[in-house]
């Protein structure tokens, strides 16, 4: 497998949520609310928010004394890059799990997409991230960003947070998917992304496999 088909990547995420991928899983972790599955095919799958505590432990992770970031806590990584604190914490747990496995590909969704961006960039592994939030506040391009692909629906609120006007951005390339009918905040599930990938207007503009 030299490239990962985007629809197959989305199906891996869907199956991880549905719990129908047990036969495909080689080893998994569930540590402090962080789940990740290493498949026998060599793909690391990182699902998103599936527990109520995730919102407070990772997604929101706000602080009352961060006026510059309007309450979103940021912390420096090893390179000095400022990261959303909750996303970095989640990614550090996944990174510890993944670095010894050396996955061929990484796939993530939502909170898992935030983690996938950071881990994929760090390990320099081809990464497909669905419904990606914005994870860092560095203007400088980081080594390894070219390995990461983000798929974001224009009507998915998660893809717009933390706000860009505060300096936050995604890691790697980002492809915006624009539905014919906008339903703000209502199209975050991976199945909604799978529907978009079937459209000709998307196929004509977005690589259907990664790396492109």
pLDDT at position 71 is 52
Q: Where are the alpha helices (DSSP H) in 109-189?
A: 111-123
Distance CA(96)–CA(40), nearest Å, equals 19
pLDDT digits (tens, 9 = 90+) for 59-109: 454 443 444 444 567 777 666 788 888 899 999 999 999 999 999 999 999
Q: Average pLDDT, stretch 7-26?
A: 97
pLDDT at position 69 is 45
Higher-confidence residue of 77 and 150: namely 150
Distance CA(71)–CA(156), nearest Å, equals 21
The two three-digit tokens of residue 193, written as one number = 């992304």
Q: What percent of the chain has pLDDT over 70?
A: 84
Q: What are the angstrom distances between the C-alpha of 3 and each of 6, 105, 137, 157? A: 9, 9, 30, 29
Is residue 20 predicted with pLDDT exceeding 60?
yes
The residue count for the chain: 212
Q: 4-207: what CATH class?
A: alpha beta
Distance CA(113)–CA(91), nearest Å, equals 10
Spatial strand order of the sheet with 105-109 comes to 25-31, 34-39, 43-46, 105-109, 127-130, 148-153, 173-177
Q: Where are the domains of the chain?
A: 4-207
Helix H or strand E encompassing 45: strand 43-46
Q: Give the chain's mean pLDDT.
A: 87
pLDDT at position 139 is 83
Is residue 54 predicted with pLDDT exceeding 90?
no
**How would you classify residue 172: left for phi > 0, otherwise alpha for psi between -120 and 50, otherwise beta?**
left
């Amino acid at each position: 497998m030299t490239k990962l088909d985007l629809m197959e990547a989305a199906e891996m995420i869907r199956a991880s949520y549905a719990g129908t991928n047990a036969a495909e899983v080689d080893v998994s972790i569930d540590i402090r609310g962080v789940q990740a599955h290493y498949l026998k095919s060599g793909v690391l799958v990182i699902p998103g928010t599936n527990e109520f505590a995730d919102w407070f432990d990772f997604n929101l992770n706000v602080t009352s004394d961060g006026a510059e970031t309007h309450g979103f806590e940021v912390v420096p990584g090893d390179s000095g890059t400022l990261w959303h604190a909750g996303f970095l914490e989640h990614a550090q747990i996944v990174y510890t799990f993944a670095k010894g496995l050396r996955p061929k590909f990484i796939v993530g969704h939502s909170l898992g997409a935030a983690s996938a961006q950071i881990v994929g960039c760090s390990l320099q592994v081809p990464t497909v991230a669905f419904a990606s939030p914005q994870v860092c506040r560095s203007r400088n391009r980081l080594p390894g960003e070219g390995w990461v692909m983000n798929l974001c629906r224009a009507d998915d609120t998660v893809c717009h947070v933390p706000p860009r006007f505060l300096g936050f951005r995604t890691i790697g390339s980002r492809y915006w998917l624009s539905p014919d009918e906008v339903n703000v905040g209502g199209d975050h599930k991976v199945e909604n992304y799978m529907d978009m990938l079937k459209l000709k207007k998307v196929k004509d503009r977005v690589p259907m496999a990664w790396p492109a």
